[in-house]
Amino acid sequence: LALSIPPSTTLQLQTPTLTRFKAVVAYDGTYFSGWQVQRDSPQRTVAGTLEQTLTEIYNLNASSFYVLGASRTDTGVHAKGQTCHFDLPIPQTVPTRHTINAALPRDVSLLSLTPTPDPQFHAIMDSTSKLYSYRISINSVMDPFMRLFRTHVYYDVDIELLETALKLFVGTHDFRAFSGQLEQKAKQKGGAVPTVRTIYDVRLIDEGAGLYKIDFHLQGALYKMVRNMVGTALSVAKGDVELAELKR
């Protein structure tokens, strides 16, 4: 993926008040327990790492500062361009993207950092759609250099059947059966957790040499919804689940 990013420059702002920033973040999720900060847990998260770095740079009150992402990713999930926002008390000279990246660990970086023209900009509410990619290898032996970024499907699968199964997810449906335990437990306790989601398109892309990418263009996803859909579609392609069962 080629991204054209202008050189870092010092941003000049006039008013020393809270300014909302939009940032696009890329990260290797291997050693992160997902995006969302877990306040009562020592687990390392992407948002938590960003918050810690920014509070140290700006000498902020950690209890009142937060970074809000457009999506919550699960443990081990990577991102090439996840949008987030945060508010900073800005002096006359603002630290640049380069300054923040220099303080961040090497497995997370800001691809862009801009003050938002609209102070009410919201990473979640202003998101129009999202793209989730799931990569698999159907080779008999998994390339060890790909092990952190692909799932090894070591059994025989019918690729045409896999594509047919994946296409059944397109549209607006109740994806409760594909949601993770968080949503299911909340519903069992009587919590109001909406599980209806819209998937605009699903594409199975042949990358050659036994490698495939599955792209989900969707409105939003439930906890572990994408990986559960892929797992079910692979079960159909393997012959363990009938296509008719998925249609129900």
Q: Which residues are catalytic?
A: 74
Please name the residue that has the structure tokens 């990418």: 213
Q: Say which DSSP state 118 is in.
A: S
* Rounded Cα–Cα distance for residues 64 and 72 (Å): 20
* Residue whose token pair is 């999202």: 130
Task: With residue 244 as reference, give the H or E element that holds it.
Answer: helix 243-247
DSSP secondary structure letter of residue 13: -
| Torsion angles phi and psi, residue 77, rounded to 5 | -85, 140
- CA 24, CA 48: separation in Å to the nearest integer? 16
